[in-house]
Structure 1
Amino acid sequence: MTITPFQALACPLDGEPLRQCDRTWRCAGGHSFDVARQGYVHLLPVQRKRSRDPGDSTEMVAARQRFLAAGHYRPIAEAVSRAALEGLSADAEAHCLDAGCGEGHYLRELARLADGKPPLALLGVDISKPAVLAAAKQDKRARWVVGSNARLPVLSATLDRLLCLFGFPMYDEFARVLKPGGLLLQVDAGPDHLRELREIIYPTLKPERAGNPETPPGFTLLGTDTIRYPLKLAGAQPIADLLTMTPHLYRASAVGRAQAAALETLAVTVDVRLMRFERGLDDNAPG
């Protein structure tokens, strides 16, 4: 299988190219960043952190890892992988970033389904150190980086594909790092996503916003696909994992969390929207 670590990293302090020498990445400006023992690189300057430990906690990462490993979101991973692989040459290496990669599940699924054709150079970036640590422990083929979507440590116009799954899209940055004609694949929750769980943990549900979000500047919307299917969870652990890996854990009241914790089975609807955006070819696109 031809899967290699992404090389076109940029210094998070001055944007200059980073070059690896042994266990250290350095830029021409003299900044250096060591490769951790587990294989990841920390490229999130302390002055750009909004908290001491931003992003998902160790508990949230472990819950997501168990839930995704059980295959509950496999249809989503397969749909994203098919969209990412479509149109790529079987011979030329394609460069792909998962922005907000979590513990690396979707990049691993992409590598599995690609099966070496096309060859892929993979990069996972997440603001959560526990998430990147978990990703690096599971897969040594990709490059795993602690960093921020607000200022990706990636050289401009180097990516063929960019994944943003249930994350925080930063379209100016995404346009900057994608090649002209490159694809942004964005997955967001649909109106009925996990509705049954939300009905248990919230007194009332907020009205859903209708329609797709506006196409961001510098991109063209190629299409939107809906991935929808019923999901049955048996046992307290997968139900607790689902709640823990979502923002609903902190938004729900104590009463709502207790009601969810008392469940032994749960039938929910998975309803997500996969949008495919193409990076513009014109010189007026941002980035």
Structure 2
Amino acid sequence: MYLCPLCQNPLSLHENHYQCLNNHSFDVAREGYVNLLPVQQKNSKDPGDNKDMMLARRQFLQAGWYQPLADAVCNLLQPLQVQQLLDLGCGEGYYTAQIASALPTAQIQGVDISKSAIKFAAKAAKHIKFCVASAYQLPFANHSFDAIVRIYAPSKVEELQRLLKTAGHLITVTPGPQHLVEIKQAVYDSVRLHDDNVADVAGFTHQSRQRLQFKLNFSHSADVLALVQMVPLAWKFSALQKQQFADSLPQISIDFLLDVYQRN
């Protein structure tokens, strides 16, 4: 159930808009999503990843380069008997759609602060509910979900505790030490590797960790450009440096840490 982001009362769907008891109203967009991010919760005019980053990520993911990660997340979810799932920070919905295919009986909800990303997600997957909202003030009722998937997304632990049912599961994906190390080496004199300590999430018990490592071998510079453009390291390159790096067709290390937590 959606909650009104202004007064936290339940929202009811009336034809093409959601409305609460205080008559706050939120229209369903043509693509099927609802924007539940009021202006006072925005930290910029257009929060979230910019359109260039989003389009680059969409191009890269749709080409299948991170399919092993999508498969690994789905394999972790399938034994959990999930009926209600939230993809937190779902972006343009690449992983959300694959999770929905792997869990055909579950109700899947995707949320992201980027309106342009959610617009793409909703247009591509009409059977999934998507909304624009802040990860720190999520517009869902208490204990709404059996599982939350958080791939690289920021979050607030109090919101994770509030939204998950007792014994519900949180699955996180974070970068491992060797992740994209070749891109870092291209822009830094001294490379700092990602930490691989298991994060302590208050109110949750850590159940398992899977480390997923593989190499990306490119044949086309456009795929390298898409990868660089979709990560924050893109800002460290000039346009010429970016093109030169892509033209070299580097082999790129991928290193993901997948952690499963259970709510106490």
TM range (shorter): over 0.9
Structure 1 partner of 2:86: 97
Deviation at 1:253, TM superposition (A): 4.5
Tell me, yes or no, if the aligned pair for 1:234 and 1:266 is still in contact at 8 Å.
no
CA distance in 2 between partners of 1:207 and 1:105 (Å)? 27
Alignment of 1:1-287 (within 5 A): 8-88=1-81, 94-114=83-103, 116=104, 119-213=105-199, 215-250=200-235, 252-254=236-238, 258-262=240-244, 263-264=246-247, 265-280=249-264
5+ unaligned residues in a row in structure 2: which ranges? none
Contact 2:8–2:139 (CA<8 Å) still a contact in 1?
yes
Structure 1 residue 29: Cα displacement: 2.1
User: Per-residue CA shift, 1:102-157, capped at 9, x if unaligned?
Assistant: 0000111112223x2xx111111000011001101101011110101100011110
| CA apart distance, 1:210 | 4.8
Superposed CA RMSD:
1.4
Gaps of 5+ in 1: 1-7, 281-287
Show structure 1 runs of 4+ deviating over 4 A.
Answer: none
Tell me the CA shift for residue 181 of structure 1: 0.9
Partner residue in 2 for 1:284: none
* TM-score (norm: length of structure 1): 0.88
Could you say if the C-alpha distance between residues 63 and 171 of structure 1 is closer, same or farther in structure 2, counting changes exceeding 3 Å? same
- Give the whole-Å Cα distance in 1 for the aligned partners of 2:194 and 2:55: 30
What is the CA deviation profile of residues 210-229 of structure 1, one whole-angstrom value per residue up to 9, with x for unaligned ones?
A: 5222x211111011110111
In 2: Cα distance, 1:135 partner to 1:209 partner: 31
2:133 & 2:38 partners in 1: Cα distance? 8
Q: Assess if the C-alpha contact under 8 Å between 1:202 and 1:253 holds in 2.
A: no
Structure-2 separation of matches of 1:253 and 1:65: 21
Contact 1:25/1:35 (8 A) holds in 2: yes
Aligned-partner SS, 1:266: coil
- For residues 139 and 253 of structure 1, the distance between their equivalents in structure 2, rounded to whole angstroms, comes to 34
Matches of 1:258 and 1:51, distance apart in 2: 29
Following the alignment from structure 2 to structure 1, what is the Cα–Cα distance between the partners of residues 196 and 160?
A: 25
User: What do residues 169-221 of structure 1 show as CA deviations (whole Å, max 9, x unaligned)?
Assistant: 221101101111111110000010011121112232125435222x2111110
- The structure-2 alpha-carbon separation of the partners of 1:203 and 1:261, relative to structure 1 and needing over 3 Å to count, comes to farther
Which amino acid in 2 is paired with 1:49? K
Query: Separation in 2 of the partners of 1:193 and 1:207?
Result: 8
SS across alignment from 2:92: coil
Is 204-213 or 234-243 further displaced after alignment?
204-213
- % identity of equivalent residues: 34
Alignment length (residue pairs): 262
Query: What do the CA deviations read for 1:3-52 (whole angstroms, capped 9, x no partner)?
Result: xxxxx111111211111111010112221100011111000010110000
